[in-house]
Chains A and B, each alone.
Chain A
Amino acid sequence: MKDRIVFEDVSKFYGEILGVNRVNLSIPPGITSLVGPNGSGKTTLMNLMTGLVRPTRGRIQVLDYKTDDPENLFRIVGYSTQFDAFPKGLTGFQFLYSYLRLSGRDSQSAEQMAWRAIERVNLVDAARRSVAAYSKGMRQRIRLAQALAHDPKVLVLDEPLNGLDPLARSEMIALFRATAQQGCYVIISSHILHEVDVISDQVILLSNGYVVAEGQIQTVRGEIQEHPTQILVRCTRPRELAAKMLQDEHTLEITIHKDEKGLLLKTRDADGFYLALNELAVNGSRIEIESIAPADDDVLSVYEYLIGSEEVVR
């Protein structure tokens, strides 16, 4: 049994328009976020992963299955798309029930699974109402319910938090986390970088159809050599510490914090800096260090370094 979602040299062109190009990915279990501006290829990548579009070139494998085998693929994959249209005349419950019947389930189990999915997305009160009368947030939830209804191993969610209120967002994030903790693959695309930062185990950064980086966010940050690492140190006597650190050749810039209780340091050698700081502590310095934390190994910083700040929702 294969345990990864694999893209091998995958390209997708819509006529002459590039969707994604030469994508090579190996996605492990956990929450993986696709991050990139509009038109960067996030949805195309998700559609490729679920067989809704076929690659122009390359090969995609989702665990044991190829994407041109929907009969087996969608037994392990649930996809919440951004397409905001539903079969006409169905209530929320009927929408899920019909989907599960389409999967070949009998009436009783389809009904049970539909109600369970509806409960998971907190839509019980509206389940008997027509989907056409749903608000944007409710439509988002019922799509999530569709993706979750058959307990898939791989959950693909295209902008799943769009249209949800803050409470619903936190509920959904908790749901994604719980799903990932069960060993599932949760692939999320999002513009909202601070949420991506909070929930992701790994990220895939896309720009103009190309994957510009992938992996755990700290690893990705570490690989960006042209931008020095920023480290925030909360301490007493920050000026004294600044003076000492400036003697290190890798230190590029130090800014004293406004409250005079810390400093922000830019260095090309984070490991060297941490070593120097340890030595300082060991050598009986009067400086008391409260905390040390990287200031730019989050998704937002990595995104800005690699892609720029266009269309980012912080």
Chain B
Amino acid sequence: MTNRMTRLRTRVWWAQIKAVIRLEMRKTFFAKRGLWIYLVALLPVLLFMAYAMANSHRQSQSASVARRGEKALAYQDLLAVKPDMTREEVVAILGKPPVNFHWREDRREDRAGNRNADANSTVAIVHEDYHYSDGQNDLFVGLADGKVERVNIREGVNAGQDSIMFAGVFQFFFLRLAIFFGCLGIFMNLFRGEILDRSLHFYFLAPIRREVLMTGKFLAGLLATCTIFVTSELLQTIAFLWHFPPSVRDVYLYHNHGLEHAAVYVGVTVLACVGYGAFFLVAGMLFRNPILPAAAILIWEAINPFLPAVLKQFSVIYYLKSLCPVDIPTPPGTSAFLSLLISNSDPVSAPLAVLGIMIVALIALYASSVQVRRMEINYTTE
């Protein structure tokens, strides 16, 4: 009998949660005040699309240069050119340049041979710029008076380098700003928005446990944020891979863990929505002004690398960083302060990181459930 009652009760709760989700989804997805969340989510997609378009354009240019070249070049040929080589040596290795520019420079020269000293004595220097390509990578050679002065190789598609760029955008924009503020906009409004609209009583007049209502709202927020940000994440991946030649794309996806990384990024996105969502749900109940808790949580997350180990655990970014599949290398010469921000000096294992986020989220949700039970309808004080 008790089991039957429990099952019946659970069924009613689940029906109620679904009813809350249906009501909330309508508001969350189609609210005018939530439009900016779509824009924030779309921003990295636009960034990668622009990058892919620029790269595609560059690749077609490279292919065109390669076609016009005297010889069919390989990447190794491009690397063979070194400073101080003569024009003839360069042409011997790479053939006549398919694209070249030249111009004259009049440099002043003093009597002792120092240039730029006397307006009356000038020396004419002939500059030449050669552009070679193997179809994907470009070589820019700068010659002065027939000698190689500058060598610049621009690599066409470097999946490894690009994946680090992707990781940078993901960690420093998508996670810390887009998802963070997107969750703020959606989860803080789940209760606060309705208090401001003076329509929260609609829920409080129904025979529904406040905890069930809170769970329904949280799941609705989670569904909305996950839909928006996972879609964005997938679009980013598509845009990121768009300009890769099929062979490079296949190698990256199937042999260099590209597919695995994409799946992990989706997982991290979902976990970020869970963690930040839980944080902002309770903040929306405790604070009238969203700016204060948002600023506090943002600062807390930002100073996470500098916190003692015990305090680090009470943050979302600490676990998310540990789960990110690509480490961002610290460029040489970076200050210790910046290095600490970029690198994850104290990572935890993936299962522990997932567990950590879940525990942090559950603590926040428990605080929400306590708060929701205490909530009163008193719009006049808002």
A residues with CB within 8 A of B: 14, 47, 50-54, 68, 70-75, 79, 81, 83-89, 98-99, 101-106, 146, 150
User: Chain B nearest CB: distance from A153 CB in Å?
Assistant: 13
Q: How many A-B residue pairs have CB under 8 A?
A: 90
Instruction: Write the chain B residue with the least CB distance to A72.
Output: B207
Q: Which of B325-377 contact A (CB under 8 A)?
A: 373-374, 376-377
User: Chain B nearest CB: distance from A142 CB in Å?
Assistant: 12
Contacts of A85 in B (CB 8 A): 197-199
With known contacts A53-B377, A104-B12, A74–B199 Cβ distance under 8 A: no
With known contacts A68-B373, A70-B209, A104-B15, A98–B378 Cβ distance under 8 A: no
Q: Is the CB–CB distance between B15 and A74 below 8 Å?
A: no
In whole angstroms, how far apart are the Cα atoms of A75 and B16 in the complex? 14
User: Chain B nearest CB: distance from A55 CB in Å?
Assistant: 11
In whole angstroms, how far apart are the Cα atoms of A51 and B374 in the complex? 10
Interface contacts beyond A98-B19, A102-B203, A102-B208: sample of 7 additional A-B pairs, CB < 8 Å, sorted by A: A47-B376, A50-B205, A52-B377, A71-B209, A71-B212, A84-B198, A103-B208
**Which of A53, A101, A146 has the largest count of B CB atoms less than 10 A from its CB?**
A101
Name the segment of B21-29, B71-79, B135-143, B313-321 touching the other chain.
B21-29
In whole angstroms, how far apart are the Cα atoms of A103 and B31 in the complex? 25
**Which of B16, B205, B207, B209 has the largest count of A CB atoms less than 10 A from its CB?**
B205
Which among B19, B198, B210 is the interface contact of A102 at CB below 8 angstroms?
B19
Q: Is the CB–CB distance between B23 and A98 below 8 Å?
A: yes
8 closest cross-chain pairs (CB), A and B:
A74-B207, A101-B19, A104-B12, A85-B198, A102-B206, A52-B377, A85-B199, A53-B376
Q: Is the CB–CB distance between B206 and A103 below 8 Å?
A: yes
In whole angstroms, how far apart are the Cα atoms of A79 and B377 in the complex? 13
In whole angstroms, how far apart are the Cα atoms of A250 and B210 in the complex? 60
23 A–B pairs (Cβ distance < 8 Å), ordered by A: A50-B205, A51-B204, A52-B204, A52-B205, A52-B376, A70-B208, A71-B209, A72-B207, A74-B205, A74-B206, A75-B207, A79-B205, A81-B201, A83-B199, A86-B202, A87-B27, A87-B202, A88-B31, A99-B206, A102-B19, A103-B207, A104-B15, A150-B207
In whole angstroms, how far apart are the Cα atoms of A150 and B379 in the complex? 26
Main secondary structure of the interface of B (DSSP, over half): helix
**Which of A68, A102, A105, A146 has the largest count of B CB atoms less than 10 A from its CB?**
A102
With known contacts A103-B207, A104-B207, A14–B378 Cβ distance under 8 A: yes
User: Chain A nearest CB: distance from B190 CB in Å?
Assistant: 13
Instruction: Write the chain A residue with the least CB distance to B197.
Output: A85
Q: Is the CB–CB distance between A83 and B201 below 8 Å?
A: yes
Is B324 an interface residue, CB under 8 A from the partner? no
In whole angstroms, how far apart are the Cα atoms of A72 and B212 in the complex? 13
User: Chain B nearest CB: distance from A274 CB in Å?
Assistant: 48
Q: Is the CB–CB distance between A70 and B210 below 8 Å?
A: yes
In whole angstroms, how far apart are the Cα atoms of A79 and B20 in the complex? 20
Is B161 an interface residue, CB under 8 A from the partner? no
Instruction: Write the chain B residue with the least CB distance to A44.
Output: B378
Q: Is the CB–CB distance between A88 and B208 below 8 Å?
A: no
With known contacts A73-B207, A86-B202, A102–B376 Cβ distance under 8 A: no
Instruction: Write the chain A residue with the least CB distance to B193.
Output: A88
Q: Is the CB–CB distance between A88 and B205 below 8 Å?
A: no
User: Chain B nearest CB: distance from A136 CB in Å?
Assistant: 16
Contacts of B23 in A (CB 8 A): 87, 98, 102
With known contacts A102-B16, A104-B12, A106-B15, A81–B205 Cβ distance under 8 A: yes
Contacts of A51 in B (CB 8 A): 204
Is B30 an interface residue, CB under 8 A from the partner? yes
Q: Which of B99-129 contact A (CB under 8 A)?
A: none
In whole angstroms, how far apart are the Cα atoms of A104 and B9 in the complex? 10
Which among A54, A86, A98 is the interface contact of B374 at CB below 8 angstroms?
A54
Q: Is the CB–CB distance between B19 and A71 below 8 Å?
A: no
Instruction: Write the chain B residue with the least CB distance to A146.
Output: B205
In whole angstroms, how far apart are the Cα atoms of A50 and B212 in the complex? 18
Is B381 an interface residue, CB under 8 A from the partner? yes
**Which of B13, B15, B30, B212 has the largest count of A CB atoms less than 10 A from its CB?**
B15
Instruction: Write the chain B residue with the least CB distance to A68.
Output: B373
User: Chain B nearest CB: distance from A131 CB in Å?
Assistant: 11
Contacts of B204 in A (CB 8 A): 51-52, 70
